[in-house]
Amino acid sequence: MRKTALKSSSTKILASVVLVAGAASVAGMGTFGAFTSTTTASESVATGKVEIGLTQNAALGTTVAANDLVPGDTVQRAVTLTRSSETEAFGSVKLTTSGSTANLLTSDVSNGLQLAIDQCTGGAWTQVGTSKALECTGGGTVTSVVAASPVVQTNTNLAVAKEALNAAGAESELRITLTLPEAAGNTFQGLSNAITFTFDATQRAAQSK
């Protein structure tokens, strides 16, 4: 009889514990309710452009070949760099030049071709009579962009051209002059090459928009 009473008492205690846990669970379910509110906003974002263009001088552009050079001769050609009206201001404009052939015209830094570039600000380069020389006309001012130096160059900074391109006119009138030095000797006879001019524009400095 004692064993039976003890078993009955243990069963009642267990049942009581289960009931208490169940009641706590039901009470916790009521804490998930809350007042809420939502609002939204949108921001329009669009990227800009960096676009540099090049047009050839109508009379003497770089498409006109220069043949039969002898020491002391110069070659003058003109191009116009432009900045698209839809583009951002430029942070820099740089020039890289290369030759199509590895010969003395480009590899000899002293007696090979020498490069100089000038800008006609406020005017345009015009052919002088029937010669193949170019002068700055229209009231323009001649400004040096690249001083005479070996023709092969890498990332030469064209600060003067950049300022002109960032101005209201958004263009830079450039005269390219190639000179075969008088010191070039017989080893230069019969050589030919093609010089490529690559103008690179980079974006302006980052701003808070």
CA distance 89 to 9: 91
Question: Count of CB atoms within 10 A of residue 38's CB?
Answer: 4
Q: Which two tokens stand for residue 131?
A: 């010669």
Secondary structure (H, E, C), 95-117: EEEEECCCCHHHHCCCCCCEEEE
| Helix (H) or strand (E) run with residue 82 in it | strand 74-83
Query: pLDDT tens digits, residue range 23-75?
Result: 445 555 556 789 999 999 999 999 999 999 999 999 999 999 999 999 999 99
Separation between Cα atoms, residue 48 and residue 111, nearest integer Å:
44
178 strand-pairing partners: 75, 115
Please tell me the distance from the alpha carbon of residue 120 to that of residue 79, in angstroms, as a whole number: 11
Q: What is the pLDDT of residue 29?
A: 56
Reported pTM: 0.81
Q: For 34-185, where are the alpha helices, taking DSSP H only? A: 104-107, 159-166
Average pLDDT over residues 6-28: 47
Q: Closest Cα partner for 127 from 81, 193, 76, 192?
A: 76
Q: What is the pLDDT of residue 71?
A: 98
CA of 86: how far to CAs of 23, 90, 160, 201, in Å? Answer: 71, 12, 21, 14
pLDDT of residue 7: 46
